[in-house]
Amino acid sequence: MLSVPPNPRSWCALVLLSALVTLPLWLLSLPAALLLGPMLAAIVLGVQGQRLAVPKPFYSLAQSLIGLMVAASISLPLLSHLLADLGLYLAVIAAVLLASSLLGWQLARGPWLPGTTGLWGIYPGAASAMVMMAESAANADVRLVALMQYLRVLLVALSASAVAHWAAPVAPEPSAPLPLDLGGLVVTLALALALSWLGRRAALPSGPFLLAMVLGALVQLAGGYQLTLPPWLLGLAYATLGWHVGLGFTRSTLKTARRALLPMLAAIGLLMALCAGIGYLLVHFLAIDPLTAYLATSPGGMDAIAIIAAGSGVDLPFVMAMQTLRFLLVLLLGPPLARFLARRLEGKTPLSGG
């Protein structure tokens, strides 16, 4: 049985502040307003010392619902088209991995971050995985790895949402809402609950998201079943994800990182610029839509990019194919690359204290 989250007053304050921050973003038609508003509200309360955390079952369920949202956009002709361009995806992802490895190497060589912290902190698209793997590294400060990873997630979400708003300022005409398929909603919720449970048991980073995206697509393609995901349900999932990311920012982590914050921001900004440059090459040489290329090459987080892409009218399967493949390759190649580079830096010792 799920327990009620502690600190009910703090949760009420978080919900109220989230609504107040989200409303102007929503009125501005900013993509992912329902993600960014709760995320910014959670950062404010987290930095002020409110000790809150989204319970894992709720966070896993939110990941599953977002994965099912992506799955709902996948079709057989589209999969055939994506497989035909597999070489393109791998080339782009290799370029992003090379850029992040070089940036991490420079951070680790410099005086700003302890040990191999910069190597684990810069890899894109697998924030929770890199934090967990850094815990087993003898020469990395896990607190700074977590801060750097979630700073990247925050800055990418903010910039991608702003770019999406600028690139597509005219919102599409809203279509008449379809009547709610109550039976379909029950089946979809049952599927999301089952996949979120399986994802947690699988011990795979972002397991609920990945399982829901893959198995949800199989259910839809093989069984001809249309997933039912009303906007209010997705809105709750977006807010849960925003709270999870935002509450990771606390006063103690910021205090620990005060002298490393500028190098972190510079490295993240440079990585985002390099990824945007790769996106420009896709536009220039392959005539891919600029916003689609930008979101496809943005350095994570994957679930946040899925939300922004879904509300921006871009080629969502192309974006998510690129993001998912990169996520998997970062999981496979990121730790060996970090350890390989770390062996070249064995003389460097971690900082202690703040």
Say if residue 2's pLDDT is above 60: no
Torsion of CA 118, 123, 127, 128, to 10 degrees: -80
Which of 3-12, 39-48, 119-128, 214-223 holds the top average pLDDT?
A: 39-48
Quote the pLDDT of residue 16: 96
Most confident region among 28-42, 204-218, 263-277 by mean pLDDT: 263-277
Q: Residues 147-193: pLDDT tens digits?
A: 888 788 888 888 888 888 787 644 444 445 556 678 778 888 999 99
Task: Find, among 154, 149, 125, 152, the residue nearest to 135 by Cα.
Answer: 149
Helix residue spans in the chain (DSSP H): 8-27, 33-47, 56-71, 76-84, 86-109, 117-122, 127-134, 142-167, 182-201, 207-223, 231-246, 251-256, 261-286, 290-297, 302-310, 316-343
What is the predicted pLDDT for the residue at 79? 73
Task: Provide the pLDDT confidence category of residue 352 given band limits of 50, 70 and 90.
Answer: very low
Per-residue pLDDT band for 135 (boundaries 50, 70, 90) equals low
This prediction has a pTM of 0.71
Render pLDDT for 216-250 as a digit per residue (tens, 0 to 9): 888 878 866 778 888 889 889 989 988 988 888 88
Q: How many CB atoms lie within 10 A of CB 262?
A: 11
316-343 and 302-310 are packed helices; what angle lies between their axes, rounded to 10 degrees?
160
Lowest-pLDDT choice from 70-79, 88-97, 179-188? 70-79
What average pLDDT does the chain have?
80
The pLDDT tens digits of the residues spanning 315-342 come to 888 888 888 888 778 777 777 777 777 7
Instruction: State which of 166-170, 253-257, 308-312 shows the largest mean pLDDT.
Output: 308-312
- Out of 51-60, 87-96, 128-137, 189-198, which region has the weakest mean confidence (pLDDT)? 128-137
Tell me if the domain spanning 8-168+182-343 has CATH number 1.20.1530. Answer: yes
Overall size of the chain counted in residues: 354
Task: Say whether pLDDT at 203 is over 90.
Answer: no
Mean pLDDT for the stretch of residues 77-105 = 82
Provide the pLDDT for residue 169: 46
Name the residue with tokens 């829901």.
Answer: 212
Calpha distance 27→281 (Å, rounded): 34
pLDDT tier, 349 (very low <50, low <70, confident <90, very high otherwise)? very low
Contact 210, 67 (CB under 8 A): yes
Contacts of 198 (CB under 8 A, 6+ apart): 207, 208, 211
Q: Would you say residue 264 has pLDDT above 80?
A: yes
Whether the CB-CB separation of 212 and 63 falls below 8 Å is answered with yes
Asked whether the predicted pLDDT for residue 17 surpasses 90, the reply is: yes
